[in-house]
């Protein structure tokens, strides 16, 4: 049984980690943060021209050459809905991971806006019966060892121990 699962997300990608003890603690440092899955929101990887027919909303000339008026094509609402769906899929995957790993804790790490969206979608995690802890920082680009060190400094996960036999 693992004590913790860690989810690190930004608006485009979520990475899922488990915290595992070394198989041979007398020879290896542990616990280790192991990346076990990731989710990507493909729409965030596209440029405006690939996602929308026009790179920005068009404008229309008024009658008789009057002032131009912009059209609201609801891009912001569409983007917000994509982000909400992504946040829902992140929490669903976190709940699946917590159940499969028989963990007691899920640590959500995301920048403030994404963390807010994740908070709105906590039902799957509540149903999984895990405790959720949060850190409002974008650490999505860190390597596992750097991430582990940062989370240990924040006292969210245990520090790595040197091998027992050393």
Cis ω on the peptide bond leading into residue 31 (within 30° of 0)?
yes
The pLDDT of residue 163: 80
DSSP assignment letter at 161: B
Model confidence over 13-51: pLDDT tens digits?
999 999 988 777 777 787 889 999 999 988 765 545 555
**Rounded distance between C-alpha atoms, residue 148 and residue 1, angstroms:** 19
The pLDDT of residue 30: 77
- Range(s) of the domain holding residue 80: 1-12+42-50+75-142
Residue 164 falls within a domain, yes or no?
no
3-state class (DSSP) for residue 151: helix
Residue 56 falls within a domain, yes or no?
no
Question: How many domains are contained in the chain?
Answer: 1
Residue 125 falls within a domain, yes or no?
yes
Residue 124 falls within a domain, yes or no?
yes
Residue 117 falls within a domain, yes or no?
yes
The pLDDT of residue 66: 61
The pLDDT of residue 59: 55
The pLDDT of residue 131: 94
C-beta of residue 72 within 8 angstroms of C-beta of residue 84: no
The pLDDT of residue 68: 60
Residue 2 falls within a domain, yes or no?
yes
pTM confidence score: 0.78
The pLDDT of residue 161: 84
The pLDDT of residue 58: 53
Residue 31 falls within a domain, yes or no?
no
Q: Which residue in this structure is represented by tokens 């603690």?
A: 25
Q: DSSP assignment of 76-122, as one string? A: HHHHHHHHHHHHHHHHHHHHHHHHHHT-SEEEEEE-HHHHHHHHTT-
The pLDDT of residue 90: 96
**Rounded distance between C-alpha atoms, residue 75 and residue 48, angstroms:** 10
3-state class (DSSP) for residue 2: coil
pLDDT tens, the chain, 166 aa long: 567 899 999 989 999 999 988 777 777 787 889 999 999 988 765 545 555 455 555 555 556 666 665 555 556 676 788 899 999 999 999 999 999 999 989 999 999 999 999 999 999 999 989 999 999 999 999 999 999 999 999 999 999 888 866 5
**Rounded distance between C-alpha atoms, residue 37 and residue 108, angstroms:** 15
CATH number of the domain bearing residue 124: 3.30.420.60
Residue 105 falls within a domain, yes or no?
yes
């Amino acid at each position: 049984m693992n004590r913790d699962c860690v989810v690190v997300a930004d608006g485009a990608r979520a990475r899922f980690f488990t915290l595992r003890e070394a198989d041979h603690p007398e020879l290896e440092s542990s616990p280790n943060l192991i990346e076990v899955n990731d989710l990507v929101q493909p729409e965030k990887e596209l440029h405006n021209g690939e996602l929308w027919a026009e790179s920005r909303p068009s404008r229309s000339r008024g009658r008789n050459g009057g002032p131009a008026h912009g059209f609201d094509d609801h891009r912001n609402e569409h983007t917000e809905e994509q982000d909400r769906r992504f946040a829902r899929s992140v929490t669903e995957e976190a709940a699946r991971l917590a159940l499969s790993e028989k963990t007691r804790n899920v640590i959500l790490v995301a920048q403030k806006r994404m963390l807010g969206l994740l908070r709105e979608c906590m039902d799957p995690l509540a149903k999984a019966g895990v405790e959720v802890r949060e850190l409002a920082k974008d650490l999505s680009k860190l390597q596992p060892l750097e991430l582990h060190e940062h989370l240990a400094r924040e006292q969210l996960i245990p520090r790595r121990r040197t091998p027992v036999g050393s």
